[in-house]
Structure 1
Amino acid sequence: MDTMLALVKESPELGLTLKEVPVPTPLDDEVLIETKAIGICGSDVHVYNWSGGYEFMESLMPIIPGHEYSGQIVKVGKDVTRFKPGDRVVVKYTVECGQCVNCRTGRRFLCSEGSKNNNGFRKNGGFAKYSVQKEDGCVPLPDNVSYEQGALVEPMSVTSNAVAKAQLLFGDVVVVLGPGPIGLLTLMFARASGAGTCIMVGTSQDHSRLELAKDMGADYVFTSDTVDIKEKVMEITDGNGADVIFEATGVSALIQDCLDMLTQVGKLVCISIYGKVATLELNNFVRGAQTMMGTYAGGPVTWERILRWLASNDYYAKQGIKVVTHTSNIKESDEAFARCNAKENIKELFTSFE
């Protein structure tokens, strides 16, 4: 076990390099984890394509990306007390310091120190057979929750946090823009939280994703390049507009459209990272007493709650795994990322590393 296969970002250009690298050695407060399942996140696609937004990684190259993963502990440092070899875990995106102002005021998911050691972006992540992580960076994976489900906990933390922040009321009309993994999981949590009519919006390229949205609880699905979405939403709501809209496309030009589709006192929740500045007309927003908010990541309590929920075998908890349409070997990474770019998959996991 001296070397392992890993996907490495070696330079600021297209692609990742598959190569043999040394197996890392855990420090006294770290564990060595054998990766069992890891998801390809949209941010990983940006890193693969080198399409902008991750220039901070240049000074850290070569680096192993990957941050949505679960695995089994194979070795522990001498100061580790909570875990032992053989334990199943989900690996957190970052390790919070517990000391900064965000940690001290209950916003641990925005830890200013933790953002300096994000898995797969500022330190080696999980696109490899093995990885090391701080003891506090691991959460126990219940025996009845699969490794594949465990690899979805990170995006579930993002989407459950978004739905919780929206403070949905039973019967609310919900619109989700963007039927990718984040949009679909947001739909799932909205349904689980008592949403009424649910509308999913994609494009004509999203046929399979919109079909899955219907299977996961959407009452209506529309393609924005073939119909007037605002007209459809107003028709469905008798001219009142949606109570809550989740924007999960990353297209800043759509934010104004979202505000125009909201009811008075409605809420717009932006889950995406945007590459361009949005220009907004705000008079109706102000006079309608609407709310627009951003949401980002999810704290450690969110992770533990999600894992308890998955272990409960709740009806909606079982829906999330449907977003996984492909599993592949890390040796097939170029093909996997090509499927991501062509929207031929929804969520793809690497589950084999040899």
Structure 2
Amino acid sequence: MACKTTFAMTLTAPRVLQPRDIPLPDIADDRALLRIEACGICGTDCEQFETGMRVPMPHIPGHEPLGVIEDIGDGAAKRWGVDVGDRVAVETLLSCHMCKRCLVGEYHLCANRQVYSTIPLADEHGLWGAYANHMVLDARTILHKMDPSIPAQVAVMYNPLGAGFRWAVEIPNTKYGDSILIMGPGQRGLAAVIAAKSVGAKTIIVTGLTADHAKLELAKSYGATHVIDIENENIRDRIKDITGGEGVDTVLDVTPGATGPIEDAINVARVGGTIVLAGVKAFRPVAKFVSDKVVFKELRILGAFGVTSSGYRKAIDLIHSGAVALEKMHTHDFAVADAELAIRTLGREIPGDESIHSCLIPEH
């Protein structure tokens, strides 16, 4: 192998990313080396940068890798059905495939799971994240082949789009003619709009802040029938007007941090409706949670953790079809060395610049 080290950005403390050259290991029979083409950046990256997410440091962040197989063991090639030169999307979760949850098909809830981007640098080779030019693919990895002709900035959207399909369609069983309220117009909220539209949802409502105007307009271009600026409009009154007082079939909350949307979700869901909670709140309690409303409306409240293969496959099929102008969502490319700038831009720390979907593009 011509290159003996690879470049990576390591998180050494909260809000501290440092460059490092890391030796490339020999690749075992059941593993592969991925040459990274792009790594998507999302709200989880912002949280990880800010807090470290209780993960031992240093480690290499980056949980949305798209890349090309550069080296692979014979056993891995046979098991995954891929070879050197193939482009692949990488599922984030590493599950044991042996525990009770794995054996009943809920591998994303594996009792022994690890997650790419949260494994310490001191663990074996250390190349467990995609803020790098290369990463090692463990034997437990689930891969999906992707068309190499699609621009990397679009192909790497398999991750947020997969979340959109799982959270907005699969978990609540959204179907033709349904109504859905999507709280939060970030990339996963927009992906949820695309997913709901693809299965024929009749009423798609998206909420956001005044600062989210461009994102709300983009949501309309992807199929949202209504958008609500919650800083200037009363969400409950608007939902009553839109649904004729009935409420929505499904509410999907993808907002980070704020707990107020959960209170709103309970109030605007229809009787017998479903609420899907996907936005993490840093373990903050919901101050105005009234359980009797859940009881008397007979609401289903469901958590949504991660993405599974069915969601990824739907996302990749959509990307391959070219049916949706996904490139409109992409706003920024950054070098791997500029990972901090990418995160701060997404987190609205850079005055006058706003990111919707962005990715790191390694230099090879």
Q: TM-score, normalised by structure 1?
A: 0.91
* Equivalent runs, 1:87-106 vs 2, <5 Å: 87-106=86-105
Cα deviation for residue 331 of structure 1 reads 2.4
Q: 1:305 to 1:216 in 2, by over 3 A?
A: closer
Match of 1:151 in 2: 156
* Equivalent runs, 1:15-94 vs 2, <5 Å: 15-50=16-51, 54-55=53-54, 57-58=55-56, 61-80=57-76, 81=78, 82-94=81-93
Q: Is the 8 A contact 1:25 1:132 kept in 2?
A: no
Q: 1:146 to 1:101 in 2, by over 3 A?
A: farther
Q: Distance in 2 between matches of 1:24 and 1:181?
A: 35
Q: 1:150 to 1:300 in 2, by over 3 A?
A: same
Q: What's the RMSD between the two structures over aligned residues? A: 1.9
Match of 1:108 in 2: 107
Q: Which moved more, 1:300-309 or 1:221-230?
A: 300-309
Match of 2:5 in 1: 3
Q: Is the 8 A contact 2:9 2:18 kept in 1?
A: yes
Alignment-mate amino acid for residue 297 of structure 2: G
Q: Distance in 1 between matches of 2:198 and 2:83?
A: 35
3-state SS of paired residue (1:335): helix
Q: TM-score, normalised by structure 2?
A: 0.88
Aligned length, in residue pairs: 343
Q: Which moved more, 1:177-186 or 1:336-345?
A: 336-345
Match of 1:119 in 2: 116
Cα deviation for residue 144 of structure 1 reads 4.9
Unaligned runs of 5+ in 2: 121-127
Q: Deviations over 1:269-302 (max 9, x none)?
A: 1111122111411223211222111111122343
Say which of 217, 242, 245 aligns to 1:239. 245
3-state SS of paired residue (1:16): strand
Alignment-mate amino acid for residue 118 of structure 1: V
Match of 1:324 in 2: 330
3-state SS of paired residue (1:103): helix
Cα deviation for residue 169 of structure 1 reads 3.1
Q: Is the 8 A contact 2:46 2:344 kept in 1?
A: no
Q: Is the 8 A contact 1:109 1:300 kept in 2?
A: no
* Equivalent runs, 1:140-179 vs 2, <5 Å: 140-162=145-167, 163-179=169-185
* Equivalent runs, 1:263-274 vs 2, <5 Å: 263-274=270-281
Q: Deviations over 1:17-41 (max 9, x none)?
A: 1232223432221101100011012
Q: Is the 8 A contact 1:69 1:150 kept in 2?
A: no
Say which of 297, 301, 308 aligns to 1:292. 301
Q: 1:150 to 1:109 in 2, by over 3 A?
A: farther
Q: Distance in 2 between matches of 1:212 and 1:233?
A: 20
Cα deviation for residue 136 of structure 1 reads 4.9
Amino-acid identity (%): 24
Cα deviation for residue 134 of structure 1 reads 2.4
Match of 2:123 in 1: none
Q: Is the 8 A contact 1:108 1:300 kept in 2?
A: no
Unaligned runs of 5+ in 1: none
Q: Which moved more, 1:343-352 or 1:260-269?
A: 343-352
Q: Distance in 2 between matches of 1:26 and 1:212?
A: 43
Match of 2:124 in 1: none
Match of 1:348 in 2: 358
1:256 matched to 2:250: no
Cα deviation for residue 87 of structure 1 reads 1.1
Match of 2:285 in 1: 277
Q: Deviations over 1:172-225 (max 9, x none)?
A: 221111001111111111111111121110001112111211111112212111
* Equivalent runs, 1:189-268 vs 2, <5 Å: 189-250=195-256, 251-268=258-275
Say which of 296, 300, 317 aligns to 1:308. 317
